[in-house]
Every structure is written in structure tokens, then in C-alpha cells.
Amino acid sequence: MDLLTQPQAAELTRLSGRTLERHRLAGTGPKFVRLGRRVLYRRDDLEQWLIECTYRSTSEADAARPHAGSPLV
């Protein structure tokens, strides 16, 4: 199992660490692993989340967004 730190996950997804934190709080981001105070991400979960965030049009993406009007990215 390949576990990544938040900075590594941010680099892989091309998002800031802060954006990943917001996604964790909102429950809209990739699955994560909490070991004590450490937050880690499995590479497979990040890749799956990116696949789930793939759309063919902006209207399709807007319809899928859980809280329209409050973008996290």
C-alpha cells in the first residue's frame, strides 16, 4: 500500500494542501487515512477520486457538485 503525505497528495492532484484540507472538512475529497494526528492518502484512493471528478462538460460537472455555489477548488 502506497501512502502519501498531504504535500505529496497535493502535488499529485495539482491542488494546494489547504484545498485538500477543505475537501476533508466538507467530505468532498478523496478518502484519507488518519494515523494518530497524521493524515495520509492512499495513491489508489487519490487516483479513483480523480477519475470520479472527470466530466465531459461543465454542465455535467455543475450538476454533480454537492453544494452548488460553494466551489472548493
Model-level pTM? 0.79
Q: Cα separation of 70 and 65, whole Å?
A: 9
Q: What is the pLDDT of residues 18-40, one digit of tens each?
A: 999 999 999 999 999 999 999 99
Q: Cα separation of 32 and 45, whole Å?
A: 8
Would you list the domain boundaries of the chain?
A: 3-64
> Does the domain at residues 3-64 carry the CATH identifier 1.10.3470?
no
DSSP code of residue 14: T
> What pLDDT is attached to residue 66?
64
> What pLDDT is attached to residue 57?
93
Q: Cα separation of 55 and 33, whole Å?
A: 26
Q: What is the pLDDT of residues 54-69, one digit of tens each?
A: 999 998 888 887 654 4
Does position 71 have pLDDT exceeding 60, yes or no?
no
Q: Locate cell 468532498: which residue?
A: 28
